[in-house]
């Protein structure tokens, strides 16, 4: 019985001594790893041997430990001599299972040939590459930066390992979003094409029955079968006026759909001559309104002549139409060169952009309605007070966008409006 007790005590003392030595060994390893010691004294028999840690520069090791990237040092056989804590975290393994092992052990099987090529190449010159590391049952995409270095007169290799997991995940999300965006763009483009074709065909086909309504309506009006003072004649007048508005609406929709389909040809056009031609077209209306129109010197720009003509027609037509009752309409058309495509840009005689201004003293509108006036069929006034379809400014905006330009308006109730359009001087500028 006593012998058994003594044996247990001896075993307990031996276990305690083993634990003490293990704790000392762990403290020594930690001190070496963090650079707290530069040398070790190891007892061998009756003598002591001094081992100098030539790579244990304290500042360097502390820097390596604080890095966000993993860092390892390999010998010529590819065995890990040193690894920092970040590398241990990347593999989710304690350092005691890492140091002394070949780095290839922790490389995913499908990446080992890539790693070995990088490893062999690095002995000739510094190199970089990507491999997958093993982390339990998963892979860690990693970028390797391999550099040669000399330790104790022997060539070693230092490798910085950057975890690319977050980057790769972001890249995957971005690629998926781009794929979905391309699919949506394709669907939208197809839908727009179908819609444009429908608008074009519908607008064209609707004109034929409308022409018949107008033709037979005018026939009844002039045939003398209806008395001008009678209700039937008044109803016929309303039919003809509605048909005329419908014709204008169909033409505007057709013009808008054509803008969406065709880009058109861009050639140098003298805006001076173009505006004068438009004013000649409006000659009767200008005389009727007794309008005063001044046009400053305008330049030659690379534009689609037909589209820009339509833009000016719509803006000048609106300026004449929405005039203040009893006040002579005054319309000013001018412009200036700008350095940038920005309404706050300074004037620049050699600028790459030109700003056209069409200003009137008409009825104006509250500026809170500015976001709405360029929308299709948007009207700020009743059709009884002012004729129109509500498409004119939408067409003007579409034309400006086709010219890689921007349009803006400033207005005040009963004080008029000023439309400003910035377009590139040459079509090559966006």
Q: Flag whether pLDDT at 257 surpasses 60.
A: yes
How many CB atoms lie under 10 A from the CB of residue 351? 17
Helix (H) or strand (E) holding 252: helix 231-261
Tens digits of residue pLDDT in 32-72? 555 555 555 555 555 545 444 544 455 556 667 777 889 89
Q: What whole-number distance in Å separates Cα of residue 73 and Cα of residue 82?
A: 5
Taking every pair of C-alpha atoms in the chain, what is the biggest distance, in angstroms?
A: 144
Strand partners, 334: 357
Band of residue 385 on the pLDDT scale cut at 50, 70, 90: very low
Dihedral pair phi/psi, residue 329, rounded to 5°:
-65, 135
Q: Considering only 21-30, 37-46, 152-161, 190-199, which range has the smallest mean pLDDT? A: 37-46
Q: What whole-number distance in Å separates Cα of residue 121 and Cα of residue 119?
A: 6
How much is the pLDDT for 328? 93
Q: What whole-number distance in Å separates Cα of residue 425 and Cα of residue 355?
A: 10
Helix (H) or strand (E) holding 364: none
Specify the pTM: 0.49
Pick the CATH number of 67-163 from 3.30.450.20, 3.30.360.10, 3.40.640.10, 3.40.50.620: 3.30.450.20
Close Cβ partners of 313 (under 8 Å, ≥ 6 residues apart): 278, 281
Q: Does domain 265-424 have CATH number 3.40.50.300?
A: no
Tens digits of residue pLDDT in 310-324? 899 889 998 998 888
Q: DSSP state, 387?
A: -
How much is the pLDDT for 386? 44
Tens digits of residue pLDDT in 347-361? 998 999 999 999 999
Using only C-alpha atoms, what is the Rg of the chain? 42
- CB-based contact 53:32 (threshold 8 Å): yes
Tens digits of residue pLDDT in 68-127? 889 898 988 899 988 888 899 899 999 888 988 999 999 999 999 999 999 999 998 999
Dihedral pair phi/psi, residue 368, rounded to 5°:
-65, -15
Supply the mean pLDDT for the chain: 81
Name which residue leads in pLDDT, 375 or 368: 368
């Amino acid at each position: 019985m006593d012998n058994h007790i003594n044996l247990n005590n001896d075993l307990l003392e031996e276990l305690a001594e083993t634990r003490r030595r293990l704790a000392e060994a762990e403290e020594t390893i930690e001190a070496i790893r963090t650079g707290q010691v530069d040398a070790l004294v190891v007892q061998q028999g009756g003598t002591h041997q001094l081992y100098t840690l030539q790579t244990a520069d304290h500042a360097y090791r502390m820097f390596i430990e604080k890095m966000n990237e993993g860092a390892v040092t390999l010998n010529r056989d590819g065995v890990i001599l040193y690894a920092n804590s970040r590398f241990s975290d990347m593999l989710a393994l304690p350092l005691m299972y890492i140091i002394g092992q070949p780095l290839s052990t922790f490389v995913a099987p499908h990446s080992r040939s890539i790693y070995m090529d990088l490893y062999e190449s690095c002995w000739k010159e510094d190199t970089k590459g990507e491999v997958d590391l093993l982390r339990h049952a998963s892979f860690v995409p990693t970028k390797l930066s391999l550099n040669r270095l000399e330790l104790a007169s022997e060539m070693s290799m230092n490798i910085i390992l950057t975890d690319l997991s977050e980057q790769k995940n972001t890249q995957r999300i971005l690629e998926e979003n781009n794929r979905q965006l391309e699919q949506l763009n394709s669907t939208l483009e197809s839908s727009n094409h179908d819609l444009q074709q429908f608008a074009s065909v519908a607008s064209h086909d609707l004109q034929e029955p409308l022409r018949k309504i107008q033709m037979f309506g005018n026939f009844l009006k002039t045939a003398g079968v209806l008395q001008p003072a009678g209700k039937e004649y008044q109803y016929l007048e309303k039919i003809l006026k509605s048909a005329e508005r419908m014709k204008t609406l169909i033409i505007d929709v057709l013009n808008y759909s054509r803008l969406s389909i065709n880009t058109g040809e861009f050639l140098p056009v003298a805006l001076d001559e173009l505006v004068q031609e438009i004013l000649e077209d409006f000659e009767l209306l200008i005389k009727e309104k007794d309008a005063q129109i001044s046009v400053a010197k305008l330049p030659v720009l690379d534009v689609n002549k037909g589209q820009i003509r339509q833009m000016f027609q719509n803006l000048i037509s609106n300026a004449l139409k929405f005039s203040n009752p009893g006040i002579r309409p005054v319309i000013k058309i001018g412009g200036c060169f700008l350095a940038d495509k920005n309404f706050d840009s300074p004037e620049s005689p050699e600028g790459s952009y030109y700003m056209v201004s069409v200003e009137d003293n008409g009825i104006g509108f509250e500026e809170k309605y500015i976001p709405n006036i360029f929308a299709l069929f948007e009207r700020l006034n009743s059709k009884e007070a002012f004729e129109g379809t509500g498409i004119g400014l939408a067409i003007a905006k579409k034309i400006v966008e086709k010219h890689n330009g921007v349009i803006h308006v400033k207005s005040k109730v009963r004080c008029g409006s000023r439309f400003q359009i910035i377009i590139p001087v040459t079509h090559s500028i966006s």
